[in-house]
Amino acid sequence: MKTIFIGAGNVAWHLVSLFSKNKDLQITHIWSRKKENAESLKNKLNDESIKINYSIQQLDFSKTDVDLAILSIADGAFETVLSKLILPKNCILAHTSGAQPMEMLKLANQNQIKNIGVFYPLQTFSKAKEVDFSQIPFCIEANDKKIEEKLTSLAKQFSNKVFQVSSKDRSILHVAAVFACNFSNYLWTISEQILKEKNLPFDMLKPLLEETLQKALEINPSNAQTGPAIRKDEKVIEKHLHMIEEMNLSNSNPHFSQIYKLMTESIQKKKKLDLT
């Protein structure tokens, strides 16, 4: 299956490695807005035959014989890129976004695209960190049963967890994932900043981070909540807020107190609702 990658960011970085290990899949083109990003992805694969395309003017692939195009770009760029993207008539176009409806892809081929689908790996990807694809849930969707089968069997080559998921359910999974991953990670970033400010090592918190995750997985997050908020330790809460306000944590400092207050109120409100 001849494949092109449109996008050379975090997700494409990992997917191209996977694709390149499978001899039935051949990556023919990589497109990215910036030439250097498409090139660094090509260099990672060390395959001279891959062609590089960049800029919005180089999105016409109609003269190629590609079978599959994976669109893995920033969600905010979908409209701009899709309005210029031209693929051969029978090529499948699939995106990797948790938030974008599949129908969005209809903008390609000047609103004449035939085969569209979704190939969404529900995981967090950064170029600097390897991932084990065999355990990553893939959410598949397509506008045609045969295309769905093709994308499903492709995902099954990489993962043991492949699901057919509608655009609506995928967007719900995505909101939940933002809370579970992106917001948790940001809260850990605040912890990191507080400790840095006071010259204390973040390593001290690592066993706590690990136990928090293990406990949430074992007994479910709603059964695992501890801390001053759920205990209603008002004196501790007040002391923490005072300490946060006194710290010199750049411009984000006002947000830290607001986040602390909002999280505390939200935990306490949930406890109250659970008791009624």
Ligand X SMILES: NC(=O)c1ccc[n+]([C@@H]2O[C@H](COP(=O)([O-])OP(=O)(O)OC[C@H]3O[C@@H](n4cnc5c(N)ncnc54)[C@H](OP(=O)(O)O)[C@@H]3O)[C@@H](O)[C@H]2O)c1
Q: Which residues bind ligand X (CB under 6 A)?
A: 7-12, 32-34, 37, 72-75, 77, 80-81, 96-98, 121, 124-125
* Least distance from ligand X to the Cβ atom of residue 10, Å: 4
Nearest alpha-carbon partner for 85 in 47, 111, 50, 121: 111
Measured from the CB atom, the residue of 34 and 239 that comes closer to ligand X is 34
HSE-CB of 197 using CA atoms within 13 angstroms: 15
- The Cβ of residue 251 has, within 10 Å, a number of other Cβ atoms equal to 6
**Residue of minimal Cβ distance to ligand X:** 9
- The Cα–Cα gap between 180 and 220 comes to 13
* Least distance from ligand X to the Cβ atom of residue 225, Å: 26
Measured from the CB atom, the residue of 74 and 236 that comes closer to ligand X is 74
Map tokens 């710290």 to a residue: 247
Measured from the CB atom, the residue of 118 and 229 that comes closer to ligand X is 118
Question: Angle at which helices 35-45 and 10-20 pack, to 10 degrees?
Answer: 30
* Least distance from ligand X to the Cβ atom of residue 120, Å: 6
CA angle 14, 19, 22 (to 5 degrees): 140
Measured from the CB atom, the residue of 52 and 194 that comes closer to ligand X is 52
* Least distance from ligand X to the Cβ atom of residue 16, Å: 11
Measured from the CB atom, the residue of 117 and 121 that comes closer to ligand X is 121
Give the phi and the psi of residue 164 in degrees, each rounded to 5. Answer: -90, 120
* Least distance from ligand X to the Cβ atom of residue 246, Å: 35
Map tokens 């031209």 to a residue: 86
218: helix, strand or coil: helix
